[in-house]
Amino acid sequence: MVKLVKLRKKNLLQNDYKIVSELGKISLNIGFISLGCAKNRVDTEIMMGILKKGGHKIVAEPGKADLVIINTCGFIREAKEEAINSIIDMGRLKKSEQLHYLIATGCLAQRYGQELLDEMPELDGIVGISSFTDINLALDKVVSGERVCMVSPPAEIFFEQGPRVLTTPPGLAYLKIAEGCNNRCSYCAIPNIRGALRSRTLIDIEKEARFLIKSGIKELVIIAQDLGNYGSDLSTGDNLPELINQINRIEGDFWIRLMYVHPIRIDDRIIQAINNNDKVVPYIDLPIQHANSRILKSMNRKHDKEYLWSVLEKLRQNIKDLVLRTTIMVGYPGETDEEFAELVNFVQQAQFDWLGTFKYIAEEGTAAARLENQISESIATARYQHLLKVQAAITRKKNIARIGTEQNILISSRAGKNLYLGRGYFQAPEVDGVTLIKSDQTLKPGEFCQVRLSAIRRCDMIGEFTDEHCQ
């Protein structure tokens, strides 16, 4: 295992303070740094809710906090480096500001546990993904002077414990329906970190969805490691199509967006659920990872290139106005120039609306890390940059085709005088472009408005407000 110390900038010493009210009850100002994916963000929001309920105050600026919690990502090297550097930066803040305590949670904490605590003196505590609902207990131990490591194997049963403090823009909320993954892709450490698939019950999910909609949410983004596999571990018969049907029955004007559907899970029932439910936007995140059949087999993706073509054709033939996003990996062990060229050709022909790509990096404990013919980082970087350039032209063409259309846009924020930011159904939060809206009327963040698209700027759209009021 690569020593975490290699990712450090330098060691910093921790302070030893205690913050206690006159009544002896611990009451802290707590700041959060949430790294990584949307699923991690949900965990952060739950921790915020637990701590707020426990009498603590959540503050936006770490410099105004007594204690900072860094919810880390540990998926790939860049994510680990970001987490380590964030810990070091907060350790430096402990030297000069009112910050007294620092706790790391999330995937990096779960993955390295005591080792992370031993190598980073900046930290006062480590809390793994199966223990974060006990964050109040961890906080009490840290304030009492204990350097605590609370890491245990992933729980056999997964359920969300609220209430959440939403950190997303107005009108938007992520809805996590499962934890862990059973796919065991050769390059991925997530099953080792977060465990096997554990689905929430449909009843539990629907209850949270109703609460969020009642609270004013206009877009529910359904997330998991693999949405299509939802419910396969339950004896209740719960599954993704039925979940979509149930949420769609909730009264209100809102979107349902599906993220992270493994290609092998796409079937007629999922397509029908999208078509038959008016609140489901015709947008699917379909991570293909590669298009060469040999590499797909090595990745343990359980499909080949021909299957991918059949899925794409089936989706486009049966879902009107479909927007497709995908994720692709370059530099996988043994990827030849010819196989990369095949991937690029596939992307050019498939014409995805949006595409995210990342460079393969060998992750300890994965099958791919043991493969021969590891690709050099310089070659992987060159392929990464080339693929991004290819996709940029495709996305530009897709956005140009939207000019002149009127779209329902969810307003996110005000960007200046007579300017607002928002997203259409064709733009997923945080990963796709946004829409810049010009309006002489005051628009309300968290509400839908009609916008006529008139131009593009890089990967973003520009449009004008066309109605006198938000819907």
pLDDT of residue 365: 87
Measured CA to CA, the distance from residue 299 to residue 97 in angstroms comes to: 47
Residue 7 has pLDDT above 80, yes or no: no
Instruction: Give φ, ψ of 461 to 5 degrees.
Output: -105, 155
Single residue among 98, 120, 150 that ends a domain in this structure: 150
Mean pLDDT score, 163-185: 93
Handedness of CA 282, 287, 290, 295 (dihedral sign): negative
Residues 261 and 277 in one domain: yes
Judge whether 36 lies within some domain: yes
Residue 339 has pLDDT above 80, yes or no: yes
Judge whether 307 lies within some domain: yes
Q: How far is CA 352 from the centre of its chain?
A: 20
Residues 228 and 363 in one domain: yes
Mean pLDDT score, 331-346: 97
Torsion angle of alpha carbons 229, 233, 236, 241, nearest 10°? 0
**Which of 338, 334, 336, 327 minimizes the C-alpha distance to 370?**
334
Mean pLDDT score, 388-417: 96
- Kindly report, residue by residue over 241-287, the tens digit of the pLDDT: 999 999 999 999 999 999 999 999 999 999 999 999 999 999 999 99
Residue 155 has pLDDT above 80, yes or no: no
Residues 142 and 186 in one domain: no
**Residue 385 burial (CB count, 10 A):** 13
Q: How many domains does the chain divide into?
A: 3
Measured CA to CA, the distance from residue 445 to residue 426 in angstroms comes to: 18
If pLDDT is split at 50, 70 and 90, which confidence band does 161 have? low
Measured CA to CA, the distance from residue 19 to residue 99 in angstroms comes to: 11
Residues 183 and 292 in one domain: yes
Judge whether 13 lies within some domain: yes
Alpha-carbon Rg for the chain in angstroms: 23
If pLDDT is split at 50, 70 and 90, which confidence band does 367 have? very high
Contacts of 364 (CB under 8 A, 6+ apart): 1, 2, 189
pLDDT of residue 152: 87
Residues 276 and 290 in one domain: yes
Mean pLDDT score, 120-133: 90
Residue 468 has pLDDT above 70, yes or no: no
Please name the amino acid found at residue 129: I
Contacts of 297 (CB under 8 A, 6+ apart): 304
Residues 210 and 112 in one domain: no
Residues 299 and 182 in one domain: yes
Contacts of 206 (CB under 8 A, 6+ apart): 243, 246, 247, 250
Q: How far is CA 398 from the centre of its chain?
A: 24
Mean pLDDT score, 379-396: 96
Measured CA to CA, the distance from residue 17 to residue 67 in angstroms comes to: 10
Provide, rounded to the nearest whole percent, the portion of the chain with pLDDT above 90. 71
Judge whether 163 lies within some domain: no
CATH number for 99: 3.40.50.12160
If pLDDT is split at 50, 70 and 90, which confidence band does 78 have? confident
Ramachandran region, residue 313 (left: φ > 0; alpha: ψ -120 to 50; beta: rest):
alpha
Give the side-chain half-sphere CA count within 13 A for 190.
20
Residues 416 and 362 in one domain: no
Single residue among 350, 385, 402 that ends a domain in this structure: 402
Contact 14, 102 (CB under 8 A): yes
Judge whether 44 lies within some domain: yes
Judge whether 157 lies within some domain: no
Mean pLDDT of the chain: 89
Measured CA to CA, the distance from residue 3 to residue 78 in angstroms comes to: 15
CATH number for 427: 2.40.50.140
- Kindly report, residue by residue over 177-225, the tens digit of the pLDDT: 999 999 999 999 888 888 899 999 999 999 999 999 999 999 999 999 9
Residues 45 and 135 in one domain: yes
Residue 291 has pLDDT above 70, yes or no: yes
Domain that holds residue 377: 172-402
For 65-93, the DSSP string reads -SEEEEEE--SSHHHHHHHHHHHHHHHHH
Judge whether 162 lies within some domain: no
Residues 252 and 216 in one domain: yes
Residues 417 and 354 in one domain: no
What is the per-residue burial (b if ≥16 Cβ within 10 Å, else e) of 284-309? bbbbbbbbbbebbebbebebebebbe
Residue 5 has pLDDT above 60, yes or no: no
Judge whether 224 lies within some domain: yes
Mean pLDDT score, 29-36: 90
CATH number for 269: 3.80.30.20
Residue 471 has pLDDT above 90, yes or no: no
- Tokens describing residue 407: 């779209």
Single residue among 150, 182, 205 that ends a domain in this structure: 150
pLDDT of residue 132: 85
DSSP state, 130?
A: T
Residues 457 and 354 in one domain: no
**Residue 369 burial (CB count, 10 A):** 15
Determine the 3-state secondary structure of 331 from DSSP.
Answer: coil
- Kindly report, residue by residue over 45-56, the tens digit of the pLDDT: 999 999 998 899
